[in-house]
Amino acid sequence: MSQSFTTADGLRLAYHVDDFTDPWRKPETLLLLHAAMGNSRRWFQWVPRLARRHRVVRLDLRGHGESEMPKADDPFSLSLLVSDALELLDLVGAERAHIVGNSAGGYVSQQLAIHHPERVETLALFGSTPGLKHSHAPTWIPKIQEVGLKTFLANTIDERFDSNADPDLVKWFIEQAGSNDPAFIARFVLHMTTHDFMEDVSKITAPTLIVAAGKEKIGHASAYQEMNKRIQGSELMYYDTAAHNICDGYASRCVDDLTDFLKRRGH
C-alpha cells in the first residue's frame, strides 16, 4: 500500500516503506530513487531481498507513478526533487540513509550527497552520470511527439535492454514507462539535459558505488571513469552490456553488488 505526503510547495507525493527486518533490530534506512519514466514499482525485484536487512523507502518522483504531476506553469527543477527526497527522509525519521539512485534518480542522489552530505550514509549509483547534458536525449522529444511514447520506447528498446531480456519484462516496461504523460516527460528530460555537475562530484564524501553499462548508449560510459577518479574512494563496476536499464534487466546482479558493497562498508 502506498502512502503519501504533501511537499512544502503543495504537491502530493506517493511513497512506500518495506521493512522485513528482525523486529528486535533498529534497521538502517535505504532510499530508492527511480529513473525518469519509472516509478517505485520498478524496484519489485530489489525490495524482497533488501527489505530483509534494511528499512526500504521508495519514492515516486514528481509526476511519476502515484505522485501528483506539477501543472505546466508550476516550478520544476532538480533542486525540487532533492527537496522532496529530504522531506521524505524527515517524514520517515531518517537522519541518515543509504541512497540508491537509478539514472535520473541518481542525479537526485548525487545532489543529495554533494549538498547534504550529513544525510547520506552511503551512495550507490546505477546507470547515472552527473546530469544528462552530454547525451542525445533532446532528440527523443520530437520522436515521441511524432509516434507516441510507447512506440518510441519499443523502437529504441535496444538502448535499454539486451536481446536476451525476458520478453514479458520488456513488454511490462514499455507499458509502464509508456503510460507516462508525454508532455511532462519532455519537460523532465529536457530539464535534465541542462545539467552537468561533473565538477561538483569531487565534493561527495560518502562511500560510493558506481555501476554502469560498459557499452552505454544513453549516458556515455566514459563519464563513469571520470566520476570514479573524482569521487575519492569510490568503486566502479561495469556490466558488459549496452543496455541502460541495468536495474531492470540485471536486477539480481545489481542487488548482489549493492549488498556486497554495503557489507564491506560495515552495513
Question: How many degrees, rounded to 5, is the angle at CA 17 between CA 14 and CA 114?
Answer: 75
Q: Tell me how far apart the alpha carbons of residues 138 and 50 are, in angstroms, rounded to a whole number.
A: 35
Question: Whole-prediction pTM value?
Answer: 0.97
Q: Tell me how far apart the alpha carbons of residues 224 and 129 are, in angstroms, rounded to a whole number.
A: 7
Dump pLDDT digits (tens) for 18-57: 999 999 999 999 999 999 999 999 999 999 999 999 999 9
| C-alpha cell, 57 | 523507502
Q: What is the average per-residue pLDDT within 254-259? A: 98
Q: In the prediction, which pLDDT does 23 show?
A: 96
Residue 59: pLDDT band (50, 70, 90) is: very high
The neighbour count for residue 183, using CB atoms within 10 Å, is 14
The neighbour count for residue 26, using CB atoms within 10 Å, is 7
Residue 218: pLDDT band (50, 70, 90) is: confident
Residue 217: pLDDT band (50, 70, 90) is: confident
235-239 and 55-59: which strand pairing?
unpaired
If one counts the domains in the chain, the total is 1
The neighbour count for residue 184, using CB atoms within 10 Å, is 18
Domain that holds residue 82: 3-264
Q: Would you say residue 10 has pLDDT above 90?
A: yes
Amino acid making up residue 77? S
Q: What is the average per-residue pLDDT within 168-179? A: 98
Q: Tell me how far apart the alpha carbons of residues 228 and 235 are, in angstroms, rounded to a whole number.
A: 7
| C-alpha cell, 84 | 522532496
Q: Tell me how far apart the alpha carbons of residues 166 and 174 are, in angstroms, rounded to a whole number.
A: 13
As a whole number, the mean pLDDT across the chain is 96
Q: Kindly report the CATH number assigned to the domain that includes residue 127.
A: 3.40.50.1820
Q: In the prediction, which pLDDT does 16 show?
A: 98
Dump pLDDT digits (tens) for 117-161: 999 999 999 999 999 998 888 999 999 999 999 999 999 999 999
Residue 1: pLDDT band (50, 70, 90) is: low
The neighbour count for residue 58, using CB atoms within 10 Å, is 26
